[in-house]
A and B are shown apart, each in its own frame.
Chain A
Amino acid sequence: MANQAVLGLYRTPEAAADAVGNLQQAGIGHNDYEIMTGVPYPEGTFGEPPVRHKLYVFPFMGAMIGLTLAILEGAGTQLAYPLVTGGKPILSVPPIIIISYELTLLGAIVFTVIGIIFESRLPRPALGVYDTRITEGLIGVVCTCPEERVEEVRGLLQRAAAIEVKVGQG
């Protein structure tokens, strides 16, 4: 059976928090509802659990890859073309440190950005049930549920003073 998405729109964060409370009381799991805002509210404002993510793994991965490439470049090119310049040893370590520093950070940055996009669950080809007024200050609470619970959820969202409730494909 296809899941449906129900979206309630609220004018104030208090009303949205009430809606989230209603959903939680009705036994709807934390993974089945989302709060959409046009403003970053502090974590936990709506009584939702803290966000879990693995973003911290990405920079380390990137740093390792960058470091490996840097050592390959820094040491490899010196050994592959052994020409003495400025009286420095053929395999000079300080330049490798400088190149490694840059490429390690580059790798970490690039992978962090990939990680942010991935962990934000982007790119998302279809917006699903959405309302453009969310970027104008309304707060949306969207709940994904099986078809038979749609009416119940609609009631829960409506009860918290929703100004509008929409239903669509989840």
Chain B
Amino acid sequence: MASEEVARDVLQRTFVKGGRYWQAVAVLAVVFLLGVVGFILKLGDERAQWGYFAATFSYLFTVAQTAPVVSVALRLAKNHWRRPLARASELFAVVGLFNLLFFIPLLILLPSIEGRNTIWILGVWPSRFYTPHIFDTLALVGLVVLGLLFLWTAAVPDFAAAREQRGGRGRYAFLALGWQGTARQWRIQRALLGLLGGLYFMDVLTTHFLISSDFSMALVPGWVDSIYPTFHALTGLQAAVAVTIVTMFLLRTVGGYREYLPMESFWGLSKILLAMSLMWFYFWWSAFITFWYGRLPVEQNIIQLIMFGPYRPFFIIGFLFCCIFAVGLLIWNPLRKSPAAMAAIAAMILVGGFFDRMRLYVASWSLADTTEHELTKVPAAIWPQVPDLLVIAGGLAGAVLVYMLATRVVPVMSIWEMKELRLYQVPRQLVRRRMLSLGKPE
């Protein structure tokens, strides 16, 4: 397909959506409204009952707000095969905005640090006891803003293309910021993408660190697990890759972008997904073996609380789906070369990821007293009630809804990057063998 056709085709698909798209939007909107009902029903519940709500927040943060990192990291590595999938992963930044809805109630429910020994020893207005509330809000809001800026910067040339198609007026004229595509503008855009990408990456790690510590680990007395924030971030990256694969597959099958998304992109991501799934085991095992070996009573209780005790079914599903089954399937080349199989495995990992978040967050939120020195007794399991299920379903549906609506505005395929790909990827003949020449501009 020629370069001009790419722009026309992608913009056409962005502006005009079919009947199935609007049907899906309607269904998702209904489920989201049911979630709102569930939330209203939950008002007035004790803190211990909000575990599933916290898990949903953490899951959306893990999946959607980590997803742009896929684009950032592959851009830094200068891969050619990331071009077709870059936008699909960046676009998840808009879900971050939606996730703030979940953050606000949790912020109100989060207990102050009064009476606890914590790392928050600095005093910050309005009271030192609310330091985590302030820093976590800053980090999360910062992440949302950075994500949207990154998306905007990456999409400006495409907005300009849309502006031309729409006769130079309307919302695209604003979004394109007067982009003309001069050499200077391209240089600035490239530098900005690098800068914002780097900041986003760092803020993702920081936010994972803060959310996992303050909203999960710190609520369990005596749980000092220095690898936990990294485990949290790693599972986030795994989910980010998985959700990108699922999105790519949907774009390929129902979105009509079959020609744009080659097997190579799935193949490239599949290797990363395999590495992440192996590291899932590694990071989990590093924590487990230290607690298992040490035999300290508090560590034994924590293993019980988050792994083998009341939430054992959740743990086993998460462990099998995200790690054992994932690795067992992903080592087979034929599966990794099949987009459908990859999408199925990625979907399984996303399901496993939700169970993993539930075992961690429901367990941490279920403890009544956060000021004890050590966890001495593992509380009984809290199973989800009808409002919890409604909130979970509504939260997930709302996130997908926001993403789908965003594809109406932002082209889900990066037009300028697809054009750039055509410059740097040229077929060549090496004696009797057809090869591909990949240009590496410095």
Contact = CB atoms under 8 A, between A and B. Distances in A.
Q: Indicate the size class of the contact surface on chain B.
A: 10 to 19
Contacts of B295: 86-88
A61 to B, nearest CB: 16
Contacts of B292: 94
Contacts of B432: 17, 44-47
A109 B433 CA distance: 32
Contacts, number: 31
B2 interface: no
Contacts of A94: 288-289, 292-293
B431 interface: yes
B435 interface: yes
Most A CB contacts (10 A, CB to CB) among B289, B433, B435 go to B433
Contacts of A13: 430-431
Nearest to B432: A47
A105 to B, nearest CB: 12
A14 B433 contact: no
Given A86-B295, A87-B295, A45 B433 contact: yes
Most A CB contacts (10 A, CB to CB) among B288, B295, B430, B435 go to B430
A45 B431 contact: yes
Contact of A43 (B288, B289, B293, B433): B433
A17 B430 CA distance: 11
Interface in B283-340: 288-289, 292-293, 295
Contacts of B433: 42-45
A13 B433 CA distance: 11
A144 to B, nearest CB: 22
A41 B435 CA distance: 12
Contacts of B430: 13, 41-42, 45
B289 A14 contact: no
B88 to A, nearest CB: 32
Interface in A61-97: 86-88, 94
Contacts of A45: 430-433
Contact of A42 (B288, B289, B293, B435): B435
A153 to B, nearest CB: 20
Interface in A30-48: 41-47
A42 B289 CA distance: 45
Contacts of B431: 13-14, 17, 41, 45-47
B435 A86 contact: no
8 contacts: A13-B431, A17-B431, A41-B431, A42-B433, A44-B433, A45-B430, A45-B433, A88-B293
Interface of B: 288-289, 292-293, 295, 430-433, 435
